[in-house]
Amino acid sequence: MKIFIDGKFYRDRAAKISVFDHGLLYGDGIFEGIRAYNGRVFKLKEHIDRLFASAKAILLKLPMTHAELMRATVETCRRNKIRDGYVRLVVTRGIGSLGLNPKGCKRPSVIIIADRIQLYPPEFYQRGLDIITVPTLRNLHGALNPAIKSLNYLNNILAKIEANNGGCEEAVMLNAEGYVAEGTGDNLFIVRNGALATPPPSAGALYGITRQTVIELAQQAGLGVSEPNLTRYDLFNADECFLTGTGAEIVPVVKIDGRVIGSGRPGAITRRLEEDYRALTKISGEPI
C-alpha cells in the first residue's frame, strides 16, 4: 500500500506520524471517510467541502487547496489501484509541544489512506439490524459541535461499546434533550406513511453525505422528506427504519430496544432506496 503524507507517498510501514502530533496527543484534527466505486471516488467534492467546514470550525488552516486535496485523493486511489475501496483522509494539527496549546503546531499534516473495503456481513442487509439506545449522549453543540468530523470520537466509541455489550451492532444515540441524534457512525431515517423523516443537524446529526444523497433520491422518487425532532417513540412506531453512512451505505433496522419495527423485515421503501443508491454509486463520482 502507498500512503500519502504531506505530499509524499510512503509504504505501509514507513508511513508514520510523530508522537508529538496533536492529532495523537489530543485528538486535535479532522477526517473524512470516502468510498470509491467502479473506478470513481463517490461524492468527493462533498467530502472535501465538509473537510473544509470542519477545519474552519476548529480554526485549522488546511495546508492544501480544495483542488489539491481532490487531486491527492484521486492520486492515492490510482497509486493503490483502487476501483472499489475506502479512503480515509485525516488532517492532524501537526507536531507541537506536549502542552495542549496548538500555537506551537506549525503545520497540519494531511494523510490519505486508500484501502480495499471491508464490507459488512450480508445478513445485516438481508435481515436488518437489531439496535439499542445507549446511555452515552451525542456531543452538545456548546461543547464539541457534533457537525465537526473531528478526531475526537470517544463519545461514539463508548456508544459503540455499549451497543456491543448489549449484544447489538449499532446504537441509537440521543442528544441531551432526549431526542434521537443518529447512530455511532451513521445517520438514522424512519419511514412513516410513505414519507421519510430524519433528525436535523440541530438535534446532533452529522451532515452525512449519504444522508443528503438519500434525501435527494427520496425526493426524486416523489417521497416526502422532513427533518423533525424525533423521539424513541417515533422510532418504535415507524413503518420502516434504516441507517445511512459511507461505509454501511443503507442498512435496514428491524428492532429497536426490543420493539419490532413495522413488519420486522426490511421495508419496501428502504429496499427501493438501497437500489437507487447502489445504482448512483455505479455511475457517478470523480474518475480515478
Residues that bind ligand PXG (CB under 6 A): 33, 156, 182, 185-187, 206, 208-211, 244-247
Question: In the annotation, is 149 catalytic?
Answer: yes
Task: Using the minimum distance from each CB to ligand PXG, give the nearer residue, 33 or 200.
Answer: 33
Task: Using the minimum distance from each CB to ligand PXG, give the nearer residue, 95 or 242.
Answer: 242
> In sequence order, what are the beta bridge partners of 130?
255
Q: Which of 2, 43, 149, 160 is catalytic?
A: 149
Min CB(134)–ligand PXG separation in Å: 13
Min CB(8)–ligand PXG separation in Å: 25
Min CB(251)–ligand PXG separation in Å: 11
Task: Using the minimum distance from each CB to ligand PXG, give the nearer residue, 69 or 206.
Answer: 206
Task: Using the minimum distance from each CB to ligand PXG, give the nearer residue, 40 or 211.
Answer: 211
Min CB(103)–ligand PXG separation in Å: 28
- Contact of 23 with 151, CB cutoff 8 Å: yes
Catalytic residue set: 149
